Amino acid sequence: MKPNTATIRLMQKFEGERLTAYKDQGGVWTIGYGLTTGAVPGLVVGPGMRISHAQSVEYFYQALKRFGDRILPMMKRKPTDNQFGAMLSLAYNIGIAAFRRSTCLRRFNAGDIEGAATALTWFHKVNGRVSQGLANRRAAERDLFLKDTTVTVTASQPDPERRPYKSRTNLAAIATGASFAASTSQDVKTAISGWGVDPVWLLGSVVVVGVAWVIYDRVSKMKRFGV
**How confident is the model over 172-199, as pLDDT tens digits?**
444 444 444 444 445 444 544 555 656 5
Work out the pLDDT band at 219, boundaries 50, 70, 90: very low
CA–CA dist 151, 184 (Å, integer): 47
Short-list 147, 123, 99, 141, CA closest to 14: 141
| pLDDT tens per residue across span 88-141 | 999 999 999 999 999 999 999 999 999 999 999 999 988 888 889 999 999 999
Q: Which of 15, 114, 141, 161 is catalytic?
A: 15
Query: pLDDT value at position 165?
Result: 40
Q: Is 141 a catalytic residue?
A: no
Pick the closest to residue 123 from 22, 3, 25 (CA basis).
25
C-alpha 59/C-alpha 43 separation (Å) is 9
pLDDT at 84: 98
Residues whose CB is less than 8 angstroms from the CB of residue 3 and which lie 6 or more positions away in sequence, other chains included: 11, 64, 68, 84, 85, 88
DSSP string, 113-178: HHHHHHHHTT--EETTEE-HHHHHHHHHHHHHHHGGG-----TTS--GGGSGGG-HHHHHHHHHHH
Amino acid at the residue 99: F
- CA–CA gap between residue 225 and residue 227 (Å, rounded): 6
List, for residues 42-61, the tens digit of each pLDDT value: 999 999 999 999 999 999 99
Domains along the chain? 5-149 (1.10.530.40), 160-224 (no CATH)
Coil, helix or strand at residue 47: coil
